[in-house]
């Protein structure tokens, strides 16, 4: 077994990419049924969600996170499903916040944020990303499919900001559903000083019936905003940043686009995903995850787990978005709500 202190020499995968970010799904459940993620036809009453005992405990997640941090992970994002439906999440945040040098953040649909924001902040959360696809209740309802009102998400965003959490807002744009919401969203969040990021609709999983025609290319979004509020490109904050950043020419704020379909960024991808039951996925479009829960519960030492993770990462070849084509559409893929978006 190798000495963890010596692992710095071979930290990259087969394409020279280091492991820097970890997304941890804390639950596969959600109180929304977004049509592009958990459509009701599939995630309805009969859908088999994970049993509670199958989920990694907070202690297990903390242990793995410490090992990932020792291997070079600098940022952990909690996600799901909807992370705020996992009970006592602030207990996990407290544990992860005690890991030195780790940037800790969370992606949420915002529905439960108003009442949890202060506790999350107090537990040590650094930042938050809130997903919101429209300011129009009819459009938002058609997307979340549970009639959830926009106002409550906005309340969550303001509560997070008031608690001292910097907020970014994510909007998935799907042709024919919410493209008319792009400009109103840009105007609204520019005025309030929150960074808004537009995400191209992706072919994750199989349940959403993705078609290329449903994707609104990021370039089209940038052009539409720029016509009314001129934009200038910005340099990335750090190598491998997934969003292309722009600032308003009058310096009134920033927007970003995540163009994973039209401008894939696999070459700089430093991200791994841990599913709620402890499977490690090295790509959002991966076919198979690596079970870390079995060794974890089977008595493996930290060094053994460290070496297992190192081995998986070293062998990584994923670059799905770069090779996406008609032929890749039917490949087996896991759902985003399971793997953690
Ligand atoms: C899977 S969700 C999990 C966290 C939380 N429930 C939320 O919605 O923010 C994470 C992110 O993935 C995005 N997402 C889900 N399905 C997507 C798809 N097919 N294409 C692009 N983004 C998607 C969501 O909009 C959200 O911003
Ligand atoms: S995108 Fe988030 S809120 Fe919407 S169904 Fe998926 S997990 Fe739930």
In 98-253, which ranges are continuous DSSP H helix?
A: 113-123, 137-144, 150-162, 182-192, 218-228
pTM of the predicted model over 0.85: yes
Contact 49, 82 (CB under 8 A): no
pLDDT digits (tens, 9 = 90+) for 164-207: 999 999 999 999 999 999 999 999 999 999 999 999 998 877 77
b/e 130-154 (16+ beta carbons within 10 angstroms → b): bbbbbbeeebbeebbbeebebeebb
- 170 Cβ inside 6 Å of ligand 1: yes
In the chain, at which residue ranges do the beta strands (DSSP E only) sit?
Answer: 21-25, 75-79, 103-108, 127-131, 167-173, 195-200, 231-233, 244-248, 254-258, 271-274, 279-281, 290-291
Report the separation in Å between the CA atom of 314 and the middle of ligand 1, taken as the mean of its atom positions.
28
Given a cut of 90, is residue 68 above it in pLDDT? yes
Report the separation in Å between the CA atom of 10 and the middle of ligand 1, taken as the mean of its atom positions.
32
Q: Starting from the CA of residue 84, give the closest ligand.
A: 1
Please give the pLDDT value at position 333. Answer: 66
Average confidence (pLDDT) over 59-63: 98
Average pLDDT of the chain to the nearest whole number: 91
For residue 43, which atom of ligand 2 is closest to its CA?
5
Query: Which residue's CA is minimally distant from atom 10 of ligand 1?
Result: 341
Q: How far apart are the C-alpha atoms of 128 and 5, rounded to whole Å?
A: 32
Residue 303: φ, ψ to 5°: -65, -40
Q: How confident is the model at residue 324 (pLDDT cuts 50, 70, 90)?
A: low
Task: Sort strands 244-248 and 254-258 into parallel, antiparallel or unpaired.
Answer: antiparallel
- For the ranges 61-65, 100-104, 263-267, which has the lowest average pLDDT? 263-267
pLDDT digits (tens, 9 = 90+) for 225-255: 999 999 999 998 877 778 999 999 999 999 9
Average confidence (pLDDT) over 322-332: 65
């Amino acid at each position: 077994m190798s000495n963890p202190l010596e692992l710095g020499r071979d930290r990259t995968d087969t394409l020279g990419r280091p492991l820097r970010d970890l997304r941890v799904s804390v639950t596969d459940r959600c109180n929304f049924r977004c049509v592009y993620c958990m459509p009701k036809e599939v995630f309805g009453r009969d859908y088999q969600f994970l049993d509670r005992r199958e989920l990694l405990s907070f202690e297990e997640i903390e242990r793995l996170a410490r090992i990932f941090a020792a291997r070079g992970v600098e940022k952990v994002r909690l996600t799901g499903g909807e992370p705020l439906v996992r009970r006592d999440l602030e207990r996990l945040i407290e544990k992860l916040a005690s890991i030195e040098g780790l940037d800790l953040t969370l992606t949420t649909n915002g529905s439960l944020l108003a009442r949890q924001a202060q506790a999350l902040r107090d537990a040590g959360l650094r930042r938050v990303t809130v997903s919101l696809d429209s300011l129009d209740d009819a459009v938002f309802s058609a997307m979340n499919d549970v009639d959830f009102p926009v106002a409550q998400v906005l309340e969550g965003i303001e509560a997070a900001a008031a608690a001292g959490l910097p907020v970014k807002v994510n909007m998935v744009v799907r042709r024919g559903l919410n493209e008319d919401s792009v400009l109103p969203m840009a105007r609204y969040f520019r005025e309030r000083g929150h960074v808004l990021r537009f995400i191209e609709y992706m072919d994750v999983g199989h349940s959403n019936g993705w078609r290329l025609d449903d994707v609104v290319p990021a370039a089209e979004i940038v052009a539409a905003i720029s016509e009314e509020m001129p934009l200038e490109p910005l340099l990335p904050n750090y190598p491998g940043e997934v969003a292309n950043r722009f600032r308003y020419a009058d310096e009134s704020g920033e927007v970003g686009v995540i163009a994973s379909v039209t401008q894939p960024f696999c070459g700089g991808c430093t991200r791994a995903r841990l599913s709620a039951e402890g499977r490690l996925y090295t790509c959002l479009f991966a076919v198979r995850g690596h079970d870390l829960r079995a060794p974890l519960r089977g008595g493996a030492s930290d060094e053994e787990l460290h070496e297992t993770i190192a081995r998986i990462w070293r062998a990584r070849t994923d670059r799905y978005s770069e090779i996406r084509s008609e032929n890749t559409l039917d490949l087996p893929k896991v759902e985003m709500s399971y793997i953690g978006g």
